[in-house]
Amino acid sequence: MKVVAAYLLALLGGNTSPTAEDLKTILGSVVLLFVWFIALGVDVWLEIEM
């Protein structure tokens, strides 16, 4: 499911034919964002629900 979400994010970003490398980049960015939020003390799940 996360690969499908990454694919859709790439499409929304204007990439009409995302490659596997593009999807890996997107998925890696999401992980880094979660780590950053946790380091800042942000309740990630609360932010997602909003």
Domains of the chain: 2-49 (1.10.10)
Predicted pLDDT of residue 23: 94
Predicted pLDDT of residue 6: 93
pTM of the model: 0.65
* Inter-residue long-range contacts of 40-47, CB under 8 Å, 24+ positions, other chains counted: none
Distance linking the first and last C-alpha atoms of the chain: 21
Residue 50's pLDDT band (cuts 50, 70, 90): low
- 1-48 pLDDT, tens per residue? 889 999 999 999 999 999 999 999 999 888 888 888 888 988 877 766
Sign of the dihedral defined by the CA atoms of residues 35, 39, 43, 47, in that order:
negative
Name the strand (E) or helix (H) holding 26: helix 20-40
Predicted pLDDT of residue 24: 93
